Structure formats: C-alpha cells, structure tokens
Amino acid sequence: MKGMIIMGLTHSSTGSKALDDTLIIKKNSPCDKVIALAGNPNVGKSTVFNALTGMKQHTGNWPGKTVTNAQGYCKSGKNSYVIVDIPGTYSLISHSAEEEIASDFICSENPDCVIVVCDATCLERNLNLVLQISQISHNVIVCLNLMDEAKRKGIYIDFKKLEELLGLPVVPVVARQKKGLDKLLKAVDSIDTYSNSLSEQLPVEEIVEKAEKITNEVVTHKQNSYSNFDKKADKILTSKLWGYPIMILMLAFVLWLTICGANYPSQALSEIFSSFELILADIFNYFNAPDWLYGSLVDGVYKVVSWVVSVMLPPMAIFFPLFTLLEDSGYLPRIAYNLDKPFKKCCACGKQSLTMCMGFGCNAAGVVGCKIIDSPRERLLAILTNNFVPCNGRFPILISVLTMFFVSTRKYSSIFSALLLTSIILFGIGATFLTTRLLSKTLLKGVPSSFTLELPSYRRPKVSDVIVRSIFDRTLFVLKRAVAVAAPAGLIIWLLANIKIGDISVLRHCATFLDPFARIMGLDGVILMAFILGLPANEIVIPIAIMIYMSQGTLSEMGNLLEMKELLVANGWNIVTALNVMIFTIMHWPCSTTLQTIKKETNSIKWTIFSAVFPTILGVLICTLINLISKIFI
C-alpha cells in the first residue's frame, strides 16, 4: 500500500446550507475518484484517513472529536483518490451537526465509493449505519477496524459470512499498525467491478433488527466476560463516591509532573537564549548599529519572545502529552460522564467538560473544541466560559506567586505547589459552573439538550505516537501563535519603557495613572499595567512588572524566586496582593490568540467583546471584595 499526501484541506460546517455552498472537492485530475470515509464516532476513522493519505488529522479515543470534513489524496497503483473524512455519526437521520454534515455529503455529493469504518468490538451498533448507507450508495466497503482489540477481548467474526449477509466487501484492518490497509485499497480499486446488492428500503426498526440478526450469526465470543475489566474500572472511575476524588488526584498528579518536569528545561532554555543574546550583541556592535535598533529588536522583541518560549515550551511539552495519554486511554469521556450532571444543573451540555479540559493546555484550543457541542446556545456558553480554567500560559504566574508567598518550606515544595495550584484550578472550574448557570439563566436562556455519550473501551496508548502528535500538532502549534503575537508586543513594551515624558517613562506614567483604581482591587498600577501589556501572552506579565519596579528599559528576569519576592515585598506586596494576583490571573480577559479564535468561531464582535469584559468584571469585583475583607479583619 502506497499512500502519499498531495493536498489536504479542512472544511468546517455547521449545517447543510454551509456545506452545499462552500465544500469543493479538489481533484488533481478529472479521473480522480471521491471516496467518503464514514463511520460511528470513535471507531478509528481518522486513523484510517491518516494512514491512507499520510496526513496528520487529529485522532483521539473519545466520541464527537471530528465535526468537520477533511480531504486528503492517495494513490494505489494507477488509480488516484480524493478521500473525504466526514464526521462520525450513528445515523443518517439528522439530529446533530455531525449527522447533518455526514448525511448531506453522502446523499448530495454522490461519492464514487463509501468506506464505512466499523469497530470490530461492537459490530451490531456499527451495522446500523452500514445498512443505512448501503440503501443510498451503490458502492460501499466495510472496513472492520480495531481487530487487535477484538482479538484481545476474545471476539471472533466470520468475515466471509458477513460479506454474504451484507452483500458488501468486508476488509479487516488494524489502522493504528497499518495492517490490512493494502487489502482495503485493493477493494477500493475494484469499486467498478461490484455493486451493492441490497435493493430493499428498510425502515429504521427493521434495520436495527437486521443488524442484530447478522451480528448474532457472525460474531462469537471466546469468553462472555470479555469486557469485565472495562466494567470494573468504570464502577470506580464513574462512581459517585470515587469519581470526583480520582479526577482531582489525577489533575494534581498531572500538574505535579508538569511543575517538576518543566523547571530544569525552562532554566536551560533561558540560559541558551541568554548566551545567544551575547552573540547578537557582538553582531550589532560589529556593524555599529544604533542603540535604538539594538534596544527595540534585542531588548524588546528578542527578550519577550525568548521569555515566552523558555517559560511556555517546557510545561506545554509535558502537559499536552499527558493530556493526550488520558485522551487516548479513554479516560476523557469518563470525565464528561462525571461532569454531565453538574453541567446539566447549569443548563449546559456535559460535552463542555471536554472543552474545559482542552482549555488547560490552551484556551484557544478549548474554544475550537467547542464545535463538538451541537446546540448553538450551549456551544456559546462553553466558548464564553472557557477562559475561567487557567491555560498553560497562566501557570508560570500562578506557580511563581504560590511558591513565593504560600509555600513556606523548600522540602516537598513541588507537592505543595501542585496541591495549591489544584485548589486554584478548582476555583476556576467552580467559576465555570457558576458563570455558565448565570448566563444560562439570563442572556442565554434555554433548556439543556441531551446527547449520546459513548464510553469507549480503555486502550493502551501508543506512547511514541502520543509524543509526536502532541508535540507537533499541539505544543508547537500553540507556541507558534504565541510567538507571533509576543514579537510585536515586545517592541511596544520596549517603546513604552524607553520613551520618557520628563524623567519618567510612558510605562511608569501609565502605571501611576492606573494605580488608584488598582489599589481598590488590592493590587497596584504596575500589576494592572503588566496584565494589560500581557494581552498577547500571559507569560510576560511578571517580567513586565519586574521591569517597571526596577525602572529598567528591558524585560527583566530575577536570578531566583527569593530575589523576586524581596523586590515585590519592597514594592508593597503582601499575602492579600499575591492572592488577588492569582484571582485576577484566573479572572481577566483572554489572551489575544484566544480572542481571535472566539471571533472566528462565533463570527461576532459583540460576543468577542463580551468574552473579554465579562470575566474581567467578575475578577475586579472578587478582588475588591477580598481587599475590603482583608482591611476589616487583618
């Protein structure tokens, strides 16, 4: 089997009209044939797509991941194909965005062949879709994926008999290991030599009965208790008693690994960038470059970008693979199951928990992930409240402030930091629930919708694939966007810090102007100014504050946290200040990347502005309340 990528497109749609108006099948040749890749959610459809085309469509062990059409190109011998990965759907009877897009494409675009990817471990449910598609498409191939899991669970399928009963080609594959894909392509090559033999049009009830009957005839189990492990694990992980504590402990463990693992590489990257800065200084001196050019490019752009990379890259490189491992193992949908009831009480959708989890890595990614929510109202709720969970960029602020002011001992400091950080994150999750309920009872009134949540089998993730996918598809993607906005921000910060009115820089004048308002919140003008200038990337908030406190014209980094704490205390910081900084870190406007993403996903300037103003108002009110209480009792 030879698969090579010639082109790749991603098409997003929320309904049939958008699909009909904007989807264009691009062919390299008029002879190219269009192959639709269909299937239930979570059957490995995107894995099959990637294996055939050589593309890197994101895969995950949870349902509802794909709500777009992706196109790829592959060759087999003399034949060439445009393969379209359509959203996973349980039925062609449209009840959701995924089902509507899938149904419209198969019915309206008339692909030359439809490959229906099925899960070999639960054939009966998958055959419902196979039988529906076979009634409207002449050329259908059944790709029986996950054969390795079926074997592990003692499930055996009589492929020849299945072919006879369906009247369709059946090809067993293990897409993750690329086994059987050559036979699948051979079947596709033969699409002109066979035709679907089913002509009867069955109602839904009879399709269900037929799927059950066929399954009973072709599937045998070596042991009746093949899913005992999954059932026993779910009794613990989704129980009312243990479900939530395990989720909290899992979160704390992931954060602890991220904190411990990110320290040394962050320091190493910082030293590398500092060394290269000396080289840049020599280059500028060699060419006798003016001071303003060196200052704007090196002290401004370069230092901000290097700070963002050294602080942001290591924790992301740890957090994203850990998150992906949970995703591929099948634990993520269990989180959605556990949080479905709380979100229902907030008149929202349980799927919001999945997008909330994505927000821990990057709020922009969490906003994009809201596509998996069918209801426009509930999707908007998830988008507007995703910012309340701290993203990877806000972890450095929280961790440094926690360590300086709330962790009194050096021994086990990483454990204390992880536990305290977990508490702060739980505060953010609680804020997500409360604000979701507030919005659903006021601006976005409505009844919570129900949805089908499949709990997939627990799988052993392929660690190598997880690392590669999380690094290149997530970490570097998010980092690239952060650097793109951090570079111009560095130039602006340098200009504000070096252009003076009288003897004071514009930056200090702005901080002084904001100071009276910030004092009401228990902060000061420097902190508030640092948050404002940190709009492109939250990682630069603390360095900007240090730069203003030290009256320097360049972005600064203290040698260690002890020196940093001494500087902050000398400028009026105390426990209340530190607490309010952490609160405001959780509750303030999203970064510029997230705001751009919200604008793109909602196509609304109104809701984009609201997403920035709403959390900021709440943050100001809570910080003000904490400051007033502290003045009364402290």
Sheet holding 140-145, edge to edge: 8-12, 68-76, 79-85, 33-39, 113-119, 140-145, 170-172
Residue 487 pLDDT greater than 60, yes or no? yes
Q: What is the average pLDDT value for the chain, to the nearest integer?
A: 82
pLDDT tens digit sequence for 315-345: 778 877 887 788 778 887 788 788 888 888 8
8-226: CATH topology = Rossmann fold (3.40.50)
Reading the block at residue 77, the tokens are 């011998």
Q: Where are the domains of the chain?
A: 8-226, 243-449+463-633
> Mean per-residue pLDDT for 154-158?
89
Instruction: Provide the residue type at 465 as one letter.
Output: D
> Mean per-residue pLDDT for 346-364?
83
pLDDT tens digit sequence for 76-114: 877 888 898 888 888 777 556 666 777 778 877 788 899
Cα separation, 389 vs 586, whole angstroms: 7
Burial class (CB in 10 A: 0-12, 13-18, 19+), 225: exposed
What's residue 555's pLDDT? 64
pLDDT tens digit sequence for 266-297: 888 888 988 999 999 999 999 999 999 999 99
140-145 and 170-172: which strand pairing?
Answer: parallel
Nearest to 545 by CA among 508, 514, 576: 508
Alpha helices in 406-475 (DSSP H): 413-441, 463-469
* String of DSSP letters for 264-275: HHHHHHHHHHHH
Q: What angle do CA 537, 541, 547 make, to 5 degrees?
A: 130
Return the exposure string of 230-260: e unless at least 16 CB atoms fall within 10 Å of the residue's CB, then b. eeeebeebbeeeebeebbbeebbebbbbbbe
Contacts of 503 by beta carbon, 8 Å cutoff, 6+ apart:
none
155-157 and 140-145: which strand pairing?
Answer: unpaired
CA terminus-to-terminus distance, the chain: 73
Reading the block at residue 214, the tokens are 């066929």
If one counts every other C-beta atom within 10 angstroms of the C-beta of residue 393, the result is 28
Instruction: Provide the residue type at 83 as one letter.
Output: I
- pTM for the model: 0.71
Burial class (CB in 10 A: 0-12, 13-18, 19+), 25: middle
Residue 577 pLDDT greater than 80, yes or no? yes
Helix H or strand E encompassing 339: helix 332-345
Q: Look at the alpha carbons of 578, 581, 587, 590 in this order and tell me if their dihedral is positive or negative.
A: negative
